[in-house]
Amino acid sequence: MVVDSCLNEEQTKPIAIEYLESLGVDVSKQVRLVLVTHWHDDHIRGVAALLREASAARFACSAAVKKPAFFSILAANKRINIVGGNSGVSEFADILSVKTTGPDHWVNEGMLLYSSASSYQVRVHALSPSAQTVTDAMVGFARTKPNISKEIQPFPNVTPNDESIVLLVETKDIHLLLGGDLQRGANSQRGWQAVVASAVRPRLRSCGYKVAHHGADNGDLDAIWTDLNEKNPHALLTPYAGGPKPRPADDDITRLRTKTNRIYCTVWPIKQTPAGRVVERTMNDVARQRRAIPHRPGHIRLRAPLTGKVQQIVVDLFNNARRV
């Protein structure tokens, strides 16, 4: 299973393919499910290319975008100017050139996405989006009408990350919680509050947690740590430096350290220390243009035998990934 996608800045191949091929995985036959948690650019780049390689895989995405207005935006895609050329709309249109009949699964709360036929007892459960979130999306998309003469933004946010899928990966003794970018939610029918309050989610606690929304406080909830995770779980962070406040910020790490002392981030520190005014002025004088040289993304790997215990989890860190 591959959840979300990103591209190595040095190449055009999705990083998931590079990694799986390095393990000797036959991507065309052995990848059985490709899932996109939500339609933000930092989670979907390269999904179409991934699906072309993983020809035996089913494709799943949030039911919150299964709306007529969304497909009217797709139909207008070729006649309007999509900002940047990397928007979720463009990527989804490319996906539909691969999966011509559309997604195999429109995912919502309570859906079982995978169940192994072997004795390993592996199951993948969707814990979101909630029914109320899908209803909210109906209303939000109804207000979104593409204008042929104007450019639109990458992908209209219906509700801030509420449409994101949260997954629970269940094995015999080790369970993993993949938080996507789901936010806290305004009430018990939305966001993480709906996941915790759900009457249909498996009552299992995870020992590994991909922290939601890059560690930001609006994606956190005490009940995630008490009701959905074991005490002191392995917490995995992916940063986002594109906004006014890079995430995770120092205060995010301070807050998360009250939940667990096993925190790992794929890139740390998030941004380099400023060089200082004099150095910056000198560099501006001698260089017409300059940019940071891209590094290979950091990589955190949790591995354990399918029949193993929590104590057998091994954490490996690659490139700029760090324990923080």
Contact 101, 53 (CB under 8 A): no
Contact 61, 3 (CB under 8 A): no
Has residue 157 got a pLDDT over 50? no
The Cα 159–Cα 288 span in angstroms is 41
Residue-number span of the structural domain to which 36 is assigned: 2-323
Place of tokens 């509050």: 193
Share of the chain above pLDDT 90, in %: 56
Buried b (16+ CB within 10 A) or exposed e, 131-169: ebbbebbeebbeeeebeeeeebebbbebbebbbbbbbbb
Whole-model pTM?
Answer: 0.85
- Residues 81-92 pLDDT 10s: 444 444 667 788
Contact 315, 176 (CB under 8 A): no
Element (H, E) at 134: helix 131-142
When comparing pLDDT for 249 and 156, which is higher?
249
Contact 191, 202 (CB under 8 A): no
Cα angle for residues 155, 210, 35 (degrees, 5° grid)? 50
| pLDDT for 85 | 44
Residue 293 is part of a domain; what is its CATH number?
A: 3.60.15
Residue 251, helix vs strand vs coil: helix
In this structure, are strands 263-265 and 322-323 parallel, antiparallel, or unpaired? antiparallel
Element (H, E) at 131: helix 131-142
- Residues 100-150 pLDDT 10s: 888 999 999 999 999 998 778 899 999 999 999 988 887 765 555 555 555
Angle between helices 88-98 and 68-76 (to 10 degrees): 90
Residue 232, helix vs strand vs coil: strand
- Phi, psi dihedrals of residue 94, rounded to the nearest 5°: -70, -40
Cα angle for residues 173, 188, 5 (degrees, 5° grid)? 55
Give every CB contact of residue 190 below 8 A, 6+ residues apart in sequence.
Answer: 130, 132, 133, 136, 159, 162
Has residue 256 got a pLDDT over 90? yes
How many domains would you assign to the chain?
1
- Phi, psi dihedrals of residue 224, rounded to the nearest 5°: -60, -40
| pLDDT for 321 | 94
